[in-house]
Amino acid sequence: MSEPGSDSVSEDDTASAERVAELSDALDATRERLAAAARDAGRDPDDVELLVVTKFHPASDVVALLELGCRAFGESREPEAGRKAAAVRARSERPVRFDMIGTVQRRKATSVARWADLVQSVDRESIVDALARGVEQARDDGDRETDLDVLIQINLDGDTGRGGVVVDDLEALADHVAETDGLRLRGSMVIAPQTHTPGYWMEQAAAHHARLTAAHPDAVEFSAGMSGDLEDAVRHGSTCVRVGTAILGERPLRSP
C-alpha cells in the first residue's frame, strides 16, 4: 500500500471481490442508463463511447474495470496518470486507451505525450506546440509510434477557470492544431457549466462543435456529458460520455 498522501501508484494491489462486485453493478447501471439515453434520442447506443474517469482511484480499479470490459479511461493529472497507465499496461494484456481530460501544464506536456492516446483538453496554442514537441521527443525515445489525437476543449461561458478555449478563438486554435505535425484534430470536448440547465449548454456546445466540423471534416468526436448530465449530452449528439462518480463512487480526497 502507498502511504496516504504519496502519489505513487501501488502496482501490486488487486481490487477486493467486494470492490469488483460494486464496480460491476455500477457499470451495468451506467451502461443501461447510456443505452436508454441513446434510445430516447433515437441513436444507436454503440455510437456513444463510455469513457470511465478513474482519476484519484487506484490502478487496481482500472484493472478490474478492464476485466469487466471497459476499454477507455480518463485521467486528469500528472504524475498520477502516467504512473497509473504504466501500471495498468504492465498488469494486463488487454487493449486499453488512456485519455488526458484535465488541463495540461506546459512543462508536463512531454510526459503526457508518452502515455496518452488522446488529449481531450487542448485549449491554447502553447499547449499544442508543447504537445507536438512532446510527441517528437517520445518518438525519439521509443515511447510512442503514432501521432497524438487531440480534442479542443471549448469553454462555453467565458469563465476560463475550468479550462477551455473561448468560443471566439475556437477556429484559430483548430487551424493551428490542424497545421501541427504529430497531432491529429479529432473533435471537441465540453464541460457544461452549472449555470442554466445542462440541456441549454449542450445545445450551445453542439452548435460550436458543428462549426468545428464544418471547417475540419475529420473532427467528428464530440466529448460531452458526465455522471450528472449524460442524457442531455447524448440528446445533443455526444459521441463520448466521461463518467467517473456514477461508476467508481466519490473520489478519494488524495490521489492513490
Residues that bind ligand PLP (CB under 6 A): 53, 55, 76, 101-102, 191, 226-228, 242-246
End-to-end Cα distance, the chain: 9
Which of residues 48 and 53 has its CB atom nearest to ligand PLP in the complex? 53
From 146, 101, 147, 136, select the one nearest 122 (Cα to Cα). 101
Q: At its nearest, how many Å lie between ligand PLP and the CB of residue 67?
A: 21
Which C-beta is closer to ligand PLP: that of 74 or that of 182? 74
Q: How far is Cα of residue 150 from the mean position of the Cα atoms in its chain?
A: 10
What is the nearest approach in angstroms of ligand PLP to the Cβ of residue 192?
10
- Nearer Cβ to ligand PLP, position 182 or 237? 237
Nearest CA to 240 among 73, 94, 88? Answer: 73
Ramachandran quadrant class, 153 (left: phi over 0; alpha: psi -120 to 50; beta: rest): beta
Three-state SS annotation for the chain: CCCCCCCCCCCCCCCCHHHHHHHHHHHHHHHHHHHHHHHHCCCCHHHCEEEEECCCCCHHHHHHHHHCCCCEEEECCCCHHHHHHHHHHHHCCCCCEEEECCCCCHHHHHHHHHHCCEEEEECCHHHHHHHHHHHHHHHHCCCCCCCEEEEEEEECCCCHHHCCEEHHHHHHHHHHHHCCCCEEEEEEEECCCCCCCHHHHHHHHHHHHHHHHHHCCCCCEEECCCCCCHHHHHHCCCCEEEECHHHHCCCCCCCC
Instruction: Name the closest residue to ligand PLP (Cβ).
Output: 244
Q: Residue 48 Cβ, how far from ligand PLP at the closest point, in Å? A: 14
CB of 243 to ligand PLP, least distance (A): 5
**Least spacing, CB of residue 173 vs ligand PLP, in Å:** 18
Q: How far is the CB of 119 from ligand PLP (least distance, A)?
A: 12
Which is closer to ligand PLP, CB of 53 or CB of 112? 53
- Give the nearer residue to ligand PLP in terms of CB position, either 182 or 208: 208
Minimal distance in Å, beta carbon 179 to ligand PLP?
26
